[in-house]
Amino acid sequence: MEQVSNHIILRGVLAGAPVFSHENHGRRFYRFPLEVARLSGTADVLPVVADEALLEDTVLTDGALVEVTGQVRSCNCRSETGRHLVISVYASTLGLCDGEPENTATLQGVICKAPVYRRTPLGREICDVMLAVSRHYRRTDYLPCILWGKSAREAACLSVGAPLHLTGRLQSRGYTKMVDGVPQQRVAYEISAMESLCPV
């Protein structure tokens, strides 16, 4: 059986109607936000991209509970402010559902930048890792990951090119960026891997 290198399952509330995103090889794709609650009570609002054919099979309305399975994807896009990495969830299946919120991502790839180890102001250990995950047609997704505690210490010792297998959640994080002296509110997306780190 082929080993899965990139898989995510999300179960959350539709936070906005699907809007047209782009067309590729004659297929139309739409984007919509999915709000997935954490155990802490806060929520991640995550961008989902789905083929028009998937949406034709499921009528989505604001507030509906939706389950999505697919992959975490990245795209290096250009804008007036330069190039930036755009992260989204590419849906392979979606449908209405019941049940508790879920946000579980499993990734297997290689480290493509030197890990950055640091501590939070409260003393928690963090390691930032950029993971390169291969997909079909010789393409690669570059996914920012955050590891905590013991996993952070282990990741900090790994070198560029080291293989890594981790499980965590895709999270959204707001931050402020200064552009020409003007503060702008931005949102970053990253994999938070707190429970599992397995060099392979």
Which tokens is 193 given?
Answer: 């891997």
Per-residue pLDDT at 91: 98
Alpha carbons 117 and 64: distance in angstroms, whole number: 40
- What would the mean pLDDT of 162-171 be, rounded to a whole number? 95
pLDDT(4) > 80: no
Residue range 187-199, pLDDT digits in tens: 999 999 976 555 5
- Looking at residue 51, its pLDDT comes to 96
What was the pLDDT predicted at 76? 85
Which CATH number fits the domain 106-198, given the four candidates 2.40.50.140, 2.60.40.10, 3.40.50.150, 2.60.120.310? Answer: 2.40.50.140
Name which of 88, 81, 144 is nearest 112 in CA terms. Answer: 144
Tokens of 88: 């989204």
Tens-place pLDDT, residues 12-45: 999 999 999 999 999 999 999 999 999 888 999 9
Indicate the average pLDDT of the chain: 91
Distances (CA, A) of 24 to 27, 84, 86, 174: 5, 21, 17, 30
- Topology annotation, domain 6-102: OB fold (Dihydrolipoamide Acetyltransferase, E2P) (2.40.50)
Pick from 120, 119, 144: nearest CA to 130: 144
Cβ contact 46:87 at 8 Å = no
How far apart CA 132 and CA 120 sit, in angstroms, is 25
